[in-house]
Amino acid sequence: MSSLDKLWQIEFLNNDARSWAIALVTLLVTLIVLPVVRSFVSARRRHWAEQEKSAAHLRAPAHHAIDLTTLLIEQTGPVFIWSIAVYLASRDLTFSPKVERFLTIGIVMVFWIQVGLWAMTSVRYAIDLRRKTSAGLDALLSSSIDVILFVAGLVIWAMVLLLALDNLGVAIKPLLAGLGIGGIAVALAVQTVLSDLLASLSIALDKPFGIGDFLTVGESQGTVEHIGVKSTRLRSLSGEQIIMSNTDILKSRVRNYGRMRERRALFQFGVSYDTEPAALAAIAGVVRQIIETTPDTRFDRCHFLAYGPNTLQFEVVFYATKPDFNTYADAQQKINLEIFERLREMKVSLTPPSRTSVYFENAPSN
């Protein structure tokens, strides 16, 4: 027997030198090949992203699947690569039961943690894909991301834990039964929190409002700043932050001014009983002309509507074609000034109307 053969037969920790050498080579090859593959896939993905950036919304579902696969490879952590290398290298080695059990637990836990990270990456990818391909939903989707990720994280990591325990030989059926009984007790103890959590999930799925929308909820008014797991925060007109539980919001009647397409405005003015009949008949046409020449407005009607105690009352309705309040206010100011000027030119005296009202309503765009 040659000295080399004798060297190969030297035993260390219940394995000969040949087995250790093969395991070492396997470990090194795996640690070299897998990072190289990951780097190559990452470089190709960046190259494809640059090429298809202008036509990303036209990609076929197969392209999205390839893109997601390459993203998952790119997101594979070094600890997972090391666990694969250790697993492949240790297959032909013999260890004591304690060491074998330790390696098994470590590899299984690292594997399922990586699976959980892949699942969370897939959820984020699906959200980003929906955001890119859904016109007009970006703000609504952005406001729901935290809630969606929180619920998805709960489900994914609970499944990861149960599957990892099952792979390690732990009987999970008694555990699930215990968790079910304990879950009922916990649910009764924290039913308010769970109610808000389900309400936040309902808001995320139904999307009745999004960040940036101006809401009236009961007696509170404000712009939505944050939609959380338990509460929604509004910034009021006077500057303070209003924090409302999601359950209370869903129980209330919510008026969402952020979804207005245009504003309907109604106002009234009165003229003197001394007005000549010809001038009185011309007023509606004058008002119509003023509104039609005002930017961002649409004329609806102007009528000599009623005889007041001291005034001949006109009622005017027009639409501000942009929902922004400042747009309406600028238009209303311009209309009021021009009506005042034109009536003075016509020698018509304004008098206080019997009733002064301004209404804003949602209305579909023409």
Cβ(322)–Cβ(262) below 8 Å: yes
Q: Has residue 238 got a pLDDT over 60?
A: yes
Q: Has residue 143 got a pLDDT over 60?
A: no
Cβ(349)–Cβ(274) below 8 Å: yes
pLDDT mean over 289-317: 93
| pLDDT band at residue 61 under the 50/70/90 scheme | low
Residue with the bigger pLDDT between 87 and 53: it is 87
| pLDDT band at residue 5 under the 50/70/90 scheme | low
Q: What is the reported pLDDT for 294?
A: 93
Cα(334)–Cα(347) distance, rounded to whole angstroms? Answer: 20
Cβ(357)–Cβ(309) below 8 Å: no
Q: What is the reported pLDDT for 124?
A: 83
Largest interatomic CA distance in the chain: 132
pLDDT mean over 263-267: 91
Residue with the bigger pLDDT between 217 and 3: it is 217
Nearest to 119 by CA among 85, 154, 168, 87: 154
pLDDT mean over 71-97: 83
Least confident of 31-35, 48-52, 89-93, 110-114: 48-52
What are the distances in angstroms from CA 263 to CA 51, 130, 266, 355?
44, 31, 10, 21
Cα(304)–Cα(288) distance, rounded to whole angstroms? Answer: 13
Cα(40)–Cα(234) distance, rounded to whole angstroms? Answer: 47
| pLDDT band at residue 259 under the 50/70/90 scheme | confident
pLDDT mean over 306-324: 90
Residue 272 DSSP SS3: coil
Radius of gyration of the chain (CA): 35
| pLDDT band at residue 84 under the 50/70/90 scheme | confident
Cα(293)–Cα(287) distance, rounded to whole angstroms? Answer: 10
Least confident of 92-106, 169-183, 305-319: 169-183
| pLDDT band at residue 6 under the 50/70/90 scheme | low
Domain range list for the chain: 3-133, 263-351
Query: Is the domain covering 263-351 a CATH 3.10.150.10 domain?
Result: no
Instruction: Tokens 């037969």: give the residue.
Output: 9
Question: From start to end of the chain, where are the E strands?
Answer: 11-12, 15-16, 214-217, 220-227, 231-235, 241-245, 254-256, 263-271, 297-307, 312-320, 350-351
Average model confidence (pLDDT) for the chain? Answer: 79
Cα(140)–Cα(210) distance, rounded to whole angstroms? Answer: 5
Cβ(204)–Cβ(144) below 8 Å: yes
Q: Which two tokens stand for residue 315?
A: 């009622």
